[in-house]
Structure 1
Amino acid sequence: MLNAVEFQAKIQNGLIQIPDEYKQEFGEGDDIKVIVLVQKKSFPKKDIIDELTENPVQVNSVLSREEIYSR
């Protein structure tokens, strides 16, 4: 029989502390399955497209096709 318990905890010295209210549900030597979901506090790193979308490059003149390919 499976019994699921969900709680939030902080990792301290490489250990996840089980809250006191759940400790009685687990016995010494019990086989358990642990699934860890990490909630990151920082936003994902922006790539060059994100940067250019937020800060477009201003150009003074537009090059013709010939000028582009002549370089």
Structure 2
Amino acid sequence: MVSLVEFTAKVKQGIIEIPEEYQTNLTDGSEVKVAISLQNEQGRELSLMDRLAQNPISVKGLAKLTRDEINYR
């Protein structure tokens, strides 16, 4: 039987604490599926663009353009 439970939690030293009301169905070795939705300080979910701006992906051989190069017509 698959059961979906959603709750908000804070990460403390890399650990996500499961609320007590959901722990009753879990035993040591229980397999669970975890999905993480990152939120900013105001509690809003971050958009893909916000996440990429915070954690840019570097591409080998790709050079950053200058402002003049970007606006060249």
Distance in structure 2 (CA, Å) of the matches to 1:15 and 1:37: 15
Percent identity over the alignment? 36
User: 1:4 aligned to 2:32?
Assistant: no
State how many pairs are aligned: 45
Provide the residue aligned with 1:16 in structure 2: 16
Q: CA deviation at 1:41?
A: 2.5
Aligned-residue Cα RMSD (Å) equals 2.1
SS at match of 1:27: coil
Distance in structure 2 (CA, Å) of the matches to 1:26 and 1:3: 12
SS at match of 2:37: coil
Residue correspondence of structure 1 range 55-66 to structure 2 within 5 A: none
TM-score, normalised via structure 2 length: 0.54
Of structures 1 and 2, the one scoring higher in RCO (CA 8 A, sep 6+) is 1
Distance in structure 1 (CA, Å) of the matches to 2:12 and 2:27: 22
